[in-house]
Amino acid sequence: MRELSPKYDPKEVEERWYQLWESKGWFKADPGSSKEAFSIVIPPPNVTGSLHIGHALNNSLQDLFSRYKRMQGFDVLWVPGCDHAGIATQNVVERELAKEGKTRDDLGREAFLERVWKWKKESGSTIMRQLRRLGASCDWTYERFTMDEGLSQAVQEVFIRLYDKGLIYQGDYIINWCPRCGTALSDIEAPHRETEGKLYHLRYPIVGKVGEFVVVATTRPETIMGDVAVCVNPKDPRFTALKGAKLELPILKREIPLIEDSYVDMTFGTGALKITPAHDANDFEIGNRFGFERIKIMDVKGVMNEKAGPYQGLDRFAARKKIVEDLKAQGLLEKVEDYKHAVARCYRCDTVVESYLSLQWFVNMTPMAEKALTALDRGETFFQPENWKKVYSDWLLNIRPWCISRQIWWGHRIPVYYNADKSKKCAARSLAEAAQKLGLKENEVIQDQDVLDTWFSSSLWPFSTLGWPDATRELGRYYPTTLLVTSWDILFFWVSRMSMFGVEVMGQVPFKEVLINSLVADEHGQKMSKSKGNVIDPLTKIDTIGADALRFALLSIESQTRYISLSEERLDAGRNFMNKIWNAARFMLMNLEGMPVETLKRPPVSELDLVDRWILGRLDGVTTQVTQYLEKGRDVNHAVNLLYDFFWKDLCDWYIEAAKVRLQGEGTAKLVAQRTLAYTLERCLRLLHPFCPFISEEIWQLLPKEGETIMRASWPKVELAPDEAAESDFKILSQIIYAVRNIRGEMKVDAKKQVTAILLAPDEATRALLLQQQEVLQSLGQMKVASISLNAEKPRGAVAAVAGSVQVFLPLEGLLDLDLERKRLEKEVGRFQGLIESIKKKLENEAFVGKAPAAVVDAERKKISEYQSSIEKLGKNLKELAS
């Protein structure tokens, strides 16, 4: 049999296997197969992106379920790809241009886009390469990009359909504007952050009443240049006398009315609200109700314009400073308060976002949200964990129009065409179609300058990647997709929009199940960020400890909470486990030397020794449980931790140690142990494969096996009933061994020294078991069993222990410190008393007794009597010690 190299080198193993898997086509889906389909679409990372730890967790999960389902016999399609990340990518290329002293305007639209495509060709596949290093078993023949021809066609088609239905419309509205990026942003692209600001109380003189003012509180005093009114609540008694008054706008000295609207919150500030329709969403609404003019006071760069009077040409923040000084000088500044408030910022560049009046394109999401909610109510999509369902449905219930136009060049250009004076427009698939629809010549038609929000195209991802609008075989077979794995921070950006578009366009939800994974924080629960210096780079980790170790570390802590904490210790644990698997497997393989290769089959029970039956029973139990964890609740951390314990403790610490005597011996006994070991290891590797694909494959190849790759081996199934007798008999042995090890430890017996043991069995059956397993006891307990009987007396000065129903006496003549032994026995009595107390408490708890099955309650009562008899035995030994 071939050997594993003495030292585990993950880099070499992982690179070799990934290349082979991919070149053999083992990741490929088979749309023509008769197998049941299982499909996942990747949350497309940004084309500018690099694999971060969040991607590593998210893709480890997708890979786990893809591999697991393949082994279960499904035809798995995992679609990879990335999105064009409009603003981010444009920023990258603009930065490159800046180095050459150029701007995008120097190049012009067409040349600039060529430049972006060139960048994409050279640098745009970084993250897809990095996913391969993680082991991602995507079907790369289906790799898609949101700007691909087919996907772009899908975008155009959906836009036109919604436009023709009246669900996409253009209008002047207040949107979030980033003056740095020079584009509109959707509400969720402009998250609010608590900011230490100021609240300025400004005096607006009342016309005709010298020295009297209405005081208005604002955080943005520069916007008063765009005021058209001051509004108060009609119920506010402070302003009753001022009904119909006129005010003088400070600085510009324009006359504006004092108006009344119940929208105004009487408890905020002074109760008087300045109305600036072009620079605030609520003021915009009030302005519409009253028919006010909308005065825009700054340009797209955030620089004050001619409407701002003396402040023209100043940046918005410089203007704020200057205006406050001027108001103060004129006695119109009543006071300035420190004020903590939430300020919207650009999610790309963190610039303070301006509420800005602008002509933009919107999607009316309400009818689509209603359809998505109906599908949710019908249970067509379910969330894991379930609590996300409410967060998601609340969002849909309160959905607002989505601003989808962006004033950049990189993206899907809006397929709307105009005549020269823009008095006529239409949505069309081509210039020719537009010309025909508008009744013009092609050269008289102008296309809209804006592009669509990148999320518009990612919202179509589950069906655009499968070939829609064409009725492809893939669409019929893999849509709706089976599982979506994503982190919760893009639940609104992406998941909800995919649902709405899926139901609207396809008439069916895009995925049956959504698994929401955690975000990965550092060991102190802090978000990872470059500025904090606490970033764990998955690529560095793959270089040093290997992808398997990284995956194991992440999957073993993934608990579907909002954040999980990843520490260096956890990563070390991953590396240690891989080394353990390697070294233990190496040892096992050496011990399989001489075994006939065809004997992968499970040996018949009649040939097995107790430890063989026990490890096979444990293997079956773990197989059942791991499968249940992966199915129910997608509980990966419990699944992987169970495998860890099984491999490390059951297989390595107990079974191999117990089987050593036979493995080192000869004949049939040796062969049975070898066959049990080979069978257990092979199955265990199959169970481990979805979690740590590389190392499991490398070792599996050296075992007697069926098939070319572990990837295509079947997921283990349990065929036999649980061997309860083996489990309970082995428990007796392990309790004795634990007891002896404990005494050795506590009495500080030299590790190399063998001790002698006298065993006192409670009945004939147990005595027979101990006699039969004497060798195992001796080798694992490092002891010589002097006698096994039903009625041995404790030799004077021997140390005694209770191991379940068996008593163990260790005559440690000369080695024994009587005081130490008395203390130890007393401590043991105390421990049992504590256990009894806690069970009694449990049994007094009506909630427990009421709910628990009768068998469970009985088992608890039985434990009390067991512990009591242990205390009696220990008490007897204590008495003897005194005598």
Closest distance to Zn ion from the beta carbon of 301 (Å): 12
Euclidean distance between CA atoms 685 and 635, whole angstroms? 19
Closest distance to Zn ion from the beta carbon of 182 (Å): 8
Q: Which stretch binds Zn ion (CB under 5 A): 60-68, 175-183, 228-236, 293-301?
A: 175-183
Q: Does 407 participate in binding Zn ion (rule CB under 5 A)?
A: no
Give the x-and-dash track for 455-484 against Zn ion (CB under 5 A): ------------------------------
Number of chain residues interacting with Zn ion (CB under 5 A)? 7
If the CB atoms of residues 86 and 781 are measured against Zn ion, the closer one turns out to be 86
Euclidean distance between CA atoms 555 and 20, whole angstroms? 25
If the CB atoms of residues 180 and 294 are measured against Zn ion, the closer one turns out to be 180
Find out whether the peptide bond into 604 is cis, omega within 30 degrees of 0. no
Contacts of 479 (CB under 8 A, 6+ apart): 39, 462, 463, 466, 506, 508, 510
Q: What burial letters (b/e) apply to 432-455, b meaning 16+ CB within 10 Å?
A: ebbbeebebeeeebbebebbbbbb
Cα separations in angstroms, 355 against 250, 280, 293, 454: 22, 5, 17, 21
Give the x-and-dash track for 181-220 against Zn ion (CB under 5 A): x---------------------------------------
Contacts of 470-476 with CB under 8 Å at 24 or more apart are 473/31, 473/32, 474/31, 474/77, 474/142
Closest distance to Zn ion from the beta carbon of 393 (Å): 31
Give the residue, chosen from 64, 178, 505, 802, that forms a contact with Zn ion under the rule CB under 5 A.
Answer: 178
Q: Which residue has the tokens 């065809």?
A: 598
Closest distance to Zn ion from the beta carbon of 527 (Å): 20
* 3-state DSSP helix/strand/coil % of the chain, to nearest 5: 50, 20, 35
Give the residue, chosen from 55, 279, 348, 670, that forms a contact with Zn ion under the rule CB under 5 A.
Answer: 348
If the CB atoms of residues 351 and 534 are measured against Zn ion, the closer one turns out to be 351
Closest distance to Zn ion from the beta carbon of 351 (Å): 5
If the CB atoms of residues 206 and 300 are measured against Zn ion, the closer one turns out to be 300
If the CB atoms of residues 77 and 174 are measured against Zn ion, the closer one turns out to be 174
Q: Does 640 participate in binding Zn ion (rule CB under 5 A)?
A: no
Q: Does 741 participate in binding Zn ion (rule CB under 5 A)?
A: no
Reading the block at residue 339, the tokens are 């004020």
Closest distance to Zn ion from the beta carbon of 36 (Å): 46
Give the residue, chosen from 346, 656, 759, 788, that forms a contact with Zn ion under the rule CB under 5 A.
Answer: 346
If the CB atoms of residues 182 and 257 are measured against Zn ion, the closer one turns out to be 182
If the CB atoms of residues 132 and 348 are measured against Zn ion, the closer one turns out to be 348
Euclidean distance between CA atoms 191 and 350, whole angstroms? 9
Q: Which stretch binds Zn ion (CB under 5 A): 229-237, 347-355, 373-381, 478-486?
A: 347-355
Closest distance to Zn ion from the beta carbon of 91 (Å): 8
If the CB atoms of residues 407 and 778 are measured against Zn ion, the closer one turns out to be 407
Euclidean distance between CA atoms 546 and 530, whole angstroms? 23
Q: Does 296 participate in binding Zn ion (rule CB under 5 A)?
A: no
Closest distance to Zn ion from the beta carbon of 300 (Å): 12
Q: What does the angle CA 391 – CA 394 – CA 400 come to, to the nearest 5 degrees?
A: 125
Closest distance to Zn ion from the beta carbon of 470 (Å): 37
Q: Which stretch binds Zn ion (CB under 5 A): 344-352, 470-478, 621-629, 748-756?
A: 344-352
If the CB atoms of residues 345 and 744 are measured against Zn ion, the closer one turns out to be 345
Reading the block at residue 753, the tokens are 């020294």
Q: Which residue, 882, 673, 644, is CA-closest to 779?
A: 673
Closest distance to Zn ion from the beta carbon of 416 (Å): 25
Q: Is 423 helix (H, G, I), strand (E, B) or coil?
A: coil
Give the residue, chosen from 20, 98, 342, 349, that forms a contact with Zn ion under the rule CB under 5 A.
Answer: 349
Is residue 504 a contact partner of residue 368, using CB atoms and an 8 Å limit?
yes
Q: Is 229 helix (H, G, I), strand (E, B) or coil?
A: strand
Q: Which stretch binds Zn ion (CB under 5 A): 69-77, 177-185, 461-469, 738-746?
A: 177-185
Q: Which stretch binds Zn ion (CB under 5 A): 132-140, 348-356, 444-452, 824-832?
A: 348-356
Q: Is 278 helix (H, G, I), strand (E, B) or coil?
A: coil
Q: Which stretch binds Zn ion (CB under 5 A): 109-117, 190-198, 349-357, 546-554?
A: 349-357
Q: Does 77 participate in binding Zn ion (rule CB under 5 A)?
A: no
Q: Is 658 helix (H, G, I), strand (E, B) or coil?
A: helix
Is residue 193 a contact partner of residue 409, using CB atoms and an 8 Å limit?
no
Q: Does 820 participate in binding Zn ion (rule CB under 5 A)?
A: no
If the CB atoms of residues 302 and 693 are measured against Zn ion, the closer one turns out to be 302
Q: Which residue, 271, 211, 268, 269, is CA-closest to 258?
A: 271
Closest distance to Zn ion from the beta carbon of 333 (Å): 31
Q: Which residue is nearest to Zn ion (CB)?
A: 346
If the CB atoms of residues 351 and 393 are measured against Zn ion, the closer one turns out to be 351
Closest distance to Zn ion from the beta carbon of 299 (Å): 16
Q: Is 858 helix (H, G, I), strand (E, B) or coil?
A: helix
If the CB atoms of residues 11 and 180 are measured against Zn ion, the closer one turns out to be 180
3-state SS record for 172-196: EEEEEEECCCCEEECHHHCCEEEEE
Q: Which residue, 224, 227, 293, is CA-closest to 258?
A: 227
Q: Which stretch binds Zn ion (CB under 5 A): 338-346, 630-638, 771-779, 858-866?
A: 338-346
Euclidean distance between CA atoms 638 and 503, whole angstroms? 35
Euclidean distance between CA atoms 275 and 226, whole angstroms? 8
Total number of residues shown for the chain: 883
Is residue 720 a contact partner of residue 618, using CB atoms and an 8 Å limit?
no
Q: What burial letters (b/e) apply to 530-554, b meaning 16+ CB within 10 Å?
A: eeeeeebebbebbeebbbbbbbbbb
Q: Which stretch binds Zn ion (CB under 5 A): 293-301, 321-329, 339-347, 649-657?
A: 339-347
If the CB atoms of residues 178 and 874 are measured against Zn ion, the closer one turns out to be 178
Reading the block at residue 627, the tokens are 């499968």
Give the residue, chosen from 161, 180, 322, 580, that forms a contact with Zn ion under the rule CB under 5 A.
Answer: 180
Q: Does 602 participate in binding Zn ion (rule CB under 5 A)?
A: no
Q: Which stretch binds Zn ion (CB under 5 A): 23-31, 180-188, 618-626, 814-822?
A: 180-188
Closest distance to Zn ion from the beta carbon of 353 (Å): 8
If the CB atoms of residues 351 and 561 are measured against Zn ion, the closer one turns out to be 351
If the CB atoms of residues 355 and 384 are measured against Zn ion, the closer one turns out to be 355
Closest distance to Zn ion from the beta carbon of 181 (Å): 3
Q: Does 743 participate in binding Zn ion (rule CB under 5 A)?
A: no
Q: Are strands 192-205 and 213-218 parallel, antiparallel or unpaired?
A: antiparallel
Q: Does 497 participate in binding Zn ion (rule CB under 5 A)?
A: no
Which stretches within 125-224 are classed as H helix?
A: 126-134, 149-164
Is residue 345 a contact partner of residue 187, using CB atoms and an 8 Å limit?
no
Closest distance to Zn ion from the beta carbon of 87 (Å): 7
Closest distance to Zn ion from the beta carbon of 279 (Å): 18
Q: Does 301 participate in binding Zn ion (rule CB under 5 A)?
A: no
Q: Which stretch binds Zn ion (CB under 5 A): 178-186, 602-610, 675-683, 769-777?
A: 178-186
Region of 258 (left: φ > 0; alpha: ψ -120 to 50; beta: rest) is: beta
Q: Does 353 participate in binding Zn ion (rule CB under 5 A)?
A: no
If the CB atoms of residues 178 and 408 are measured against Zn ion, the closer one turns out to be 178
Region of 560 (left: φ > 0; alpha: ψ -120 to 50; beta: rest) is: left
- Residues lying near Zn ion in the complex (CB under 5 A): 178, 180-181, 346, 348-349, 351
